[in-house]
Structure 1
Amino acid sequence: MTDPDEINPRKALELGMDRPISRRDFFDGVIAATGIAAACSLPGIGGRNTSPAKGAEDLELSPDTSYPPSLTGLRGDTAEALSVPHALRDQRFWAYAGMPEPTGERYDLVVVGAGISGLSAAHRWLERDPGARILILDNHDDIGGHALRNEFRPRARRGPLVAYGGSRSIINPAAWTPEGKDLLAKLDIRPERLAGERRLYADLGMHDSVFCDRETFPAERLVVFTPGKGAPRWIAELPVAEQAGKDLLMLYGDPPDWFPGLSGEEKQERLARLTYSGFLAEVCGVHPDVLKFVQTMPSDEWAYGSDAFGAIDAWACADEHRYAGFQGLGLDASKPSRYNSPTVIKEWDAGEPRAYRFPEGNQAIVRMMAARMIPGFATTADMAGITTASFDYGALDRPGNRVRVRLSSPVVSAANDGRPEAATGATVGYFDGERVRTVRAGSVIMACWNSMIPYLVGDLPLAQRAALYRAVKVPLLYATVQLRDWRAWQEIGIRRARFTGARWCVAELDDPADIGGYRCPRTPSEPIAVHMVSTPVTPGVSPAHGSVAGRYALIETPYGYLEYSIRDQLTRLLGPGGFDAARDIEAITVNRWGHGHTPEYATPWDLDFYPDGRPPAAVARRPHGRIAIANADSVPAARADAAVTAAYRAVAELQR
């Protein structure tokens, strides 16, 4: 994808940037580069759309602002959600905040963060203390944190079209932690009922693919992995140099033992000191085009590229289309290596990797918990009905409820009332949009980004502060694009495409999932949601350093450029199938997660303590008086069950 200052306004018109689709455009206060400014000066761009254009009669353009899932444009970590946390980070907040004002409210528990971990903590607390009064505070305008729901209402469909905007799936539930399994059982969630129409796309002749894009190779080419197409055939279709093709044939065919004479343990140790790209370049000596081809292989799952993904994990995750080159090593495939990442080890014996998904992703789990705790929030709390239930966001902070959720209320302080070792309560401050308000709490659970906690809890021990700062989340973009139909996808025979180097590394049709009264699109003439993933981590450095640099670049990227890149990539991918971005795109939601994916400990980056030393999270998650620490960061792992496990642990620490 081109840089923002290279956008062609004429092409922006061709891609439909002037069409008043369902979206809201935000620039986060950043002055746009010349190309973006020109593109967004076109009619209908750069502001909220209030009226449909000619030919848009099949589209509903008036999202309900009182119902956050229906909002489009930029969602997730918006400027509104990040302004106070960033002001705290930059030491600008308290100079203008004024004196905190007590609300007079007192709760048994205050939870900071309304994501999976925060709601799990409240749910677990109530299970052990049914009469407790609980307040949950969050800086976003919706519950769920990274587990966000995107909802569209195309007129050509009866009922809403529901999709996920963050945490997607219940992955390998058999391998979930005991705490995660306990929560699923308490909510009566049976993942096998979410299997969906797994054969739908295959039966329509639609398969996975890779799109070798112009950002990576001289010529763009789509390669479809049709069943039975072996490596020699699909490799021959790639627009790579002749030597790169030979190297790929070797890697996917019969690679040698790269470490002859070494034991299996010694080979694993060698792999643990390399990234996958490093293994291919330094050990296998492949052509640079091979490195370009594999760069985005891990991006969708791990949120960074092959230049940061450990070679030992690549060995564990190898299949017919990914991470080749290890067959000749003769490593024992019956068990994981001790150098593998914790999730790889945990899921090793889980059988076939399966992902079970509600249409809205894991926000369904959050909503089911909220519905059980908060009277009036939802018309049902059961698994079958949660996707199509009606929700009253006004009930979340209703004074008469024992459990209350206060959104758009970023926490700015949390302090024990007295010395931590003797404290019997705590005080929590939050910003209500005008001033800082405080509430009293018997206990506090920090279920927020762990790296934010040192800015909120001022008297933490230095070692704990340093450990918390190491919890650097990986930035992510999850775009949900509502299309009028998916005929072009069927025409070219794909359901998913991995891009080799463009801004968005994946574009895929929504998984076909039915639940209760909700029915997924079944025919290509129906509206559908397309998911696109972008991983802004800066390549060439560690995931932590690349995440920081990528996050700064992401926050400076205007929404208009993100929309342009979505339209551009879908056109390049689907144009041969008759796709017209100006005609076929009816709504766009970009879920920006500057603090998105929780990276777990992995080689080669954490060899100073992993797998044999004491991990920083063990120090970071220590309770501090009446304040305990949750969130998946405190495990750390990116799976939803990690967030639940962290919540259960924090509750146990405070309810001893």
Structure 2
Amino acid sequence: MEIDPRRSRELGMGRPISRRDFFDGVAMAAGAAALAGLAGCGAGARPGAIGTDHLEVPYEVRFPPALTGLQGNTPAALSVPHALRDDRFWQYAGAPQATGETYDLVVVGGGISGVSAAFEWLRLDPGARVLILDNHDEIGGHARRNEFAPRGRVGPLIGYGGSQSIEAPSVWTAEGKALLDQLGVKVRRFERYFDRTLYTGLGMSGGVMCDRESFATETLVRLTEGLTPERLAAQLPIAEQAKRDLVMLYNNPPDYLKGMSRREKEERLAALTYSRYLLDVARVHPDVERFCRTMSSDDWAYDTTTFGAIDAWGSAGGWDYPGFQGLGLDRDKPSRFNSPTVIKEWGAEDPHIYHFPEGNQALVRMMVGRMVPGFASATDMDSITTASFDYGKLDLSGNQVRFRLSSPVVSVANDGPPESATSATVGYFDGTAIRTVRAGAVIMACWNMVIPYLVPELPADQRAALRQAVKIPLLYATVQLRDWQAWHRTGVNHVRWTGAYWCVSELDHPVSMPGYLFPGTPAEPINVHLIATPALGGMSPAQGAVAGRHALIRTPFTYMEYTIRDQLTRLLGPAGFDPERDIEAITVNRWGHGYAPEYCRPWNSFYPDGPFPAEAARRQFGRIAIANSDSVPAAYADAAITAGHRAVSGLMAQ
């Protein structure tokens, strides 16, 4: 994790841009003003002077989407949960102080699952009083909005910092589809709003950067229309034997499992990762495995040394996961060993266009805007992106629904034995003291792995099951560029890297909404998205997540910025890209606790027959119910919505 000082200067690290660095150990009080002074802060508000540290910026002039630097799971958001985990919170916390507040429902966690649970509760009980508590400084959890104000552009440039798209809406859960209907989200409109011909019309395509972290010679290969495996292999900086092996995998691989029945072949694939399939079964040259290794990183947040071969077979298509055609496994149906999402999306042909500029935070803002009067100037699908938002309205005493940010929950307990309790008490830290509120019901829509620290009275088997929900870390960076002419000259709009720190770099999705225009010409400012997946490979998703998260928490923002500048320059420098001149703002959304990992082979031997840890983990405990996508588990918005609805149903049925 070293930075070359000379290279740093060449990359423009010294130039003042819109960025801030946050360091671990920041006191919660620094960011826990509970947004009390944010009234009137609208969509065009700026976060303060460029290049200043966040502690120097008056809180009342901050608008969370416009904050740059390190966002997401910041040290300020994690300090209290980490202190609880490390058993160093209560010895310094002091005695809880009752606020005197009483609610019908308290929701712990203000992401998609928690907000949709509150929204569903109000649908069933319109007069209910609800409080949502979250440890972050922004609504939506992983569904975060990034916003910039480039010089010369009318209105902000908006991107997503987390939950990205309405993935495969045709196969969304019933609860997810019902919520879209309630919000008036007509996904077919994206067929007009999403410009599927912008990049191809400019002669641009996807590409693969065979980077110097993987190969001796760094080479960009464009995946243009009509490219053949032979022409692809000829351009790659890999051994001659590897080129022949790769062409064979794409064109005509043999039946590597000849003599086995379909079930036996599926069982064999279920026992392997895709990397091991390539190396041990197909016995291809190691350069082939190295070229393919990051194919799964974007979708699953871990590479093919962890990604199962059975799911690689189920996901194979285009340039991804070659080598299965010769097995003779008909694609009429998925394998029972495929992960739940592969099974769910089998045969779904939804294009990847169902995307708000701010990602799925649009759904959160539509819900919060309808529950909290005055928060949003509009709450319909066509206006939410350009609406103004008043954060000062979120936690007013007269609200029927209150949303309290920068307020990490530290304790939740039934008032009396769980089998007979009719209420519960929730404690949270407001930056100076522990405050408590009473609730008729509580929904834990936070990370499931933290719940045992908040509800220690849970049965031992349930605490153990909750701790198995180990989220996968990932980074979403949004970089605002002066223009995208170097991308146009290079001829790419999406690039997979084979081994560098950031595994994906791509131009933003070309979606325009009424009143919001995507930059349609290369001379305009644009957002670039980069994805990094810190989970270590060669081990289970949970083990890799823990190891990767430990490394991530020690990674400073300066290193993240350095690698962003370095990789963009390596990709685009030959086309005239100058990082000092062309990079105008950087936001890195750190999700140390990111994707909810699905049960999958070869790592979960109990899958698909069960029993499943999530079933024990999500049991209702008196007036306390458990949601979050962890309790499904699946890393998708509709899974989070379904988990929230399930918690509501259980509590209301009691």
In 2: Cα distance, 1:353 partner to 1:255 partner: 29
Secondary structure at the counterpart of residue 440 of structure 2: strand
Aligned to 2:588: 590
Q: Please list, as runs of the form range in 1=range in 2, the aligned pairs for 1:121-200 lying within 5 A after superposition.
A: 121-195=117-191, 196-200=194-198
- When the two chains are superposed, the root-mean-square deviation of aligned CA atoms in Å is 1.5
| SS, match of residue 562 in structure 2 | helix
Matched, 1:650 2:647: yes
The answer to whether the 8 Å contact 2:25/2:76 transfers is no
Amino acid at match of 2:203: G
Instruction: Give the drift of 1:599.
Output: 0.8
Greater CA drift, 627-636 or 252-261: 252-261
> Which residue type is aligned with residue 615 of structure 2?
A
Match of 2:507 among 506, 509, 520: 509
**Alpha-carbon distance between aligned partners in 1 of 2:570 and 2:160, rounded to the nearest angstrom:** 24
Contact 1:22 1:62 in 2 (8 A): no
Looking at structure 2, the residues matched to 626 and 571 of structure 1 have their Cα atoms a distance apart, in angstroms, of 54
SS in 2 for 1:356: coil
- Tell me what 1:107 maps to: 103
* Change in CA separation of 1:72 and 1:285 when aligned onto 2, cut-off 3 Å: same
Please tell me whether the aligned partners of residues 208 and 224 of structure 1 are also in contact (alpha carbons under 8 angstroms). Answer: yes
- Partner amino acid for 2:334? P
**1:521 pairs with one of 519, 535, 539:** 519
Any idea what SS the aligned residue of 2:366 has? helix
Partner of 2:22: 26
Structure 2 partner of 1:612: 609
Alignment of 1:85 with 2:93, yes or no, is no
CA distance in structure 2 between the partners assigned to 1:260 and 1:51 by the alignment = 63
Q: Hey, what's the Cα distance between the residues in 2 that align with 1:355 and 1:403?
A: 33
* Equivalent residue runs for 1:243-642 within 5 Å: 243-607=241-605, 609-642=606-639
2:67 paired with 1:71: yes
Specify whether residues 52 and 68 from structure 1 end up closer, same or farther in structure 2 by C-alpha distance, changes over 3 A only: closer
- Aligned CA distance change for structure 1 residues 89 and 397 (closer, same or farther; 3 Å): same
Per-residue CA deviation, residues 435-461 of structure 1 (Å, 9 max, x unaligned), is 000000000000000000000001000
Q: What is residue 35 of structure 2 aligned with on the other side?
A: none
User: Amino acid of the residue matched to residue 627 of structure 1?
Assistant: I
- Is the Cα contact below 8 Å between 1:115 and 1:147 reproduced in 2? yes
Deviation of 1:156 after TM superposition, in Å, equals: 1.8
CA separation of 1:406 and 1:352: change in aligned 2, threshold 3 A = closer
> What is residue 39 of structure 2 aligned with on the other side?
none
Matched AA of 2:483: D
Does the CA contact (< 8 Å) of 2:19 and 2:50 recur in 1? no
> Does 1:17 find its partner at 2:17?
no
Compute the displacement of 1:65 (Å). Answer: 4.4
* C-alpha distance after superposition, 1:30-57 (max 9, x if no partner): 9xxxxxxxxxxxxxxxxx994689xxxx
Question: Which of 4, 20, 23 is equivalent to 1:8?
Answer: 4
Query: How far did 1:29 drift?
Result: 4.8
Change (3 A) 1:390 1:50: closer
The answer to whether the 8 Å contact 1:295/1:305 transfers is: yes
Paired amino acid for 2:462:
Q
Match of 1:37 in 2: none
Greater displacement, 173-182 / 314-323: 314-323
Matches of 1:581 and 1:125, distance apart in 2: 49
Q: Give 1:27 shift.
A: 3.0
Q: Does the CA contact (< 8 Å) of 2:71 and 2:589 recur in 1? A: yes
- Post-superposition Cα deviations, 1:294-347, rounded to whole Å, max 9, x if no partner, equal 111000110000001110110111113110000000101011111111011111
Offset at residue 354 of structure 1 (A): 3.0
Unpaired stretches in structure 2, ≥5 consecutive residues: 27-46
Question: Which shifted more, 252-261 or 585-594?
Answer: 252-261
Seen in structure 2, the aligned counterparts of structure 1 residues 52 and 324 have a Cα distance that, compared at 3 Å, is closer
C-alpha displacement at 1:242, in angstroms?
1.1
Number of the residue aligned with 1:35: none
**Residue type of the alignment partner of 1:623:** Q
Q: Deviations over 1:118-175 (max 9, x none)?
A: 0000000000000000000000000000000000001221100000000000011000
> Which letter does structure 2 place at the counterpart of 1:379?
S
CA distance in 1: counterparts of 2:646 and 2:232, whole angstroms: 48
State the Cα distance separating 1:235 from its structure 2 match: 1.2
Counterpart CA distance in 1 for 2:21 and 2:242 is 42
Q: CA deviation at 1:351?
A: 2.2
Give the corresponding residue for 1:39: none
Is the CA contact 2:18–2:50 (under 8 Å) kept in the aligned structure 1?
no
Map of 1:34 onto structure 2: none
Mapped contact 1:631–1:646 kept (Cα < 8 A): yes
Superposed displacement of residue 350, structure 1:
1.8
Q: How far does residue 349 in structure 1 lie from its aligned partner after superposition?
A: 2.8
Aligned AA for 1:170? I
Superimposed CA distance per residue, residues 224-250 of structure 1 (whole angstroms, 9 cap, x where no aligned partner): 011001111011100011111111011
Q: Secondary structure at the match of 2:244?
A: helix
Q: Could you state the TM-score of these two structures normalised by the residue count of structure 2?
A: 0.94
TM-score where L is the length of structure 1: 0.94
Please state whether the residue corresponding to 1:297 is helix, strand or coil. Answer: helix
Partner of residue 41, structure 1: none
The 8 Å contact of residues 28 and 558 in structure 1, kept in 2 or not, is answered as no
- Residue 527 of structure 1 aligns with an amino acid whose one-letter code is P
Secondary structure in 1 matching 2:295: coil
Identify which range, 510-519 or 119-128, moves more after superposition: 510-519
Structure 1 window deviating more from structure 2 (342-351 vs 413-422): it is: 342-351
- The answer to whether the 8 Å contact 2:17/2:50 transfers is no
Give secondary structure in 2 for the equivalent of 1:361: coil
Aligned length: 627
- Which segment is superposed worse, 191-200 or 75-84? 191-200
Q: CA deviation at 1:577?
A: 1.0
Return the alpha-carbon distance in structure 2 between the equivalents of residues 518 and 183 of structure 1.
24
- Report the AA paired with residue 140 of structure 1: H
Deviates more, 1:140-149 or 1:7-16: 7-16
Deviations 1:395-443 (A, max 9, x none): 0001111000000000000000000001000000000000000000000
Q: Does the 8 Å CA contact 1:64/1:70 hold for their aligned counterparts?
A: no
CA distance in 2, matches of 1:461, 1:50: 50
The one-character-per-residue Cα deviations of 1:162-199 (angstroms, maximum 9, x if unpaired) are: 00000000011000000000000000101121230011
* Structure 1 partner of 2:34: none
Displacement of 1:63 after TM fit? Answer: 11
